[in-house]
Amino acid sequence: MVQIFFAYFALVSIAAGILTVSLRNPVHCGIALLVLLGHVAGLFVLLHAEFVAVVQIIIYAGAILILYLFVLMLLNLKTEERYFHRRHAWYITGVGALTVELLMVLLASRFGGAKGPSTVEAVEQIGNSMAIGILMFSDYLLPFEIVGIFLLGAIVGAIVLAKTPSPADLSGKDR
């Protein structure tokens, strides 16, 4: 059962990804990205990471993608005749295929690594959110705070960059 869902989610994700990078109209690309994000969330659910899946939907699909679509429409770029660098396409694709090939060879090997404490059963007992919350606010508190500051910086930067320049800014004189 799980394999069927996995196959579905995986194939659609890959298809959506390919569509995102190859469609002509940018808005179509955005829609494809949305599909991708949703199915990636589905993969997360299959992996018993419900909290992450939900966050993916809410933040990624619900905020970031919206932002992209807003900016797309704001700028209203013309779609041009030649929308990709033709020469590069072939080179990159070839090399990329090679790398994937190598990775497949890799995948035949055993994956090592120490097993952690949070087995699926243990997590299901308290629920994924709580488990993540406990861990986040104890072991990973510092990165959490730093990310907060980072987001603050991003906000400030985005606002400063994107606001309509005042006439003084445009003329370049000191205020």
Considering only residues 97 to 156 of the shown chain, the ones binding other proteins according to CB under 8 A are 98-100, 102-111, 113-120, 123, 128, 131-132, 135-136, 140, 143-144, 147, 150-151, 153-155
Q: Which residue has the tokens 């994937």?
A: 100
At its nearest, how many Å lie between other proteins and the CB of residue 41?
Answer: 10
Least distance CB 35 / other proteins (angstroms): 12
| CA atoms of 7 and 57, how far apart (whole Å) | 20
Residue type, 26: P
Q: Which of 65, 4, 12 is nearest to 39 (CA)?
A: 12
Build a one-symbol-per-residue string for 6-45: x at contacts with other proteins by CB under 8 A, - elsewhere.
x---x--xx--xx-xx----x--xx--x--xx--x--xx-
Contact by Cβ (8 Å): 19, 26: no
Q: Min. distance of Cβ 72 from other proteins in angstroms?
A: 6
Q: Which positions from 55 to 74 touch other proteins by CB under 8 A, shown as an x/- string?
A: xx--xx--xx--xx--xx-x
What is the distance between the alpha carbons of residues 99 and 56, in angstroms, rounded to a whole number?
28
Binding test (CB under 8 A) with other proteins, winner from 161, 171, 172, 174: 161
Name residues whose C-beta falls within 8 Å of residue 175's C-beta, 6 or more positions apart in sequence.
168
Residues in contact with 37: Cβ distance below 8 Å, sequence separation at least 6, in sequence order = 56, 57, 60, 61, 65
Counting contacts by CB under 8 A, is residue 48 touching other proteins?
yes
82 SS3 class: coil
CB of 60 to other proteins, least distance (A): 6
Q: How far is the CB of 94 from other proteins (least distance, A)?
A: 10
Q: Which of 88, 166, 172, 174 binds other proteins (CB under 8 A)?
A: 88
Report yes or no: 123 and 131 within 8 Å, Cβ to Cβ. yes
Tell which one of 8, 35, 38, 89 touches other proteins (CB under 8 A). Answer: 89
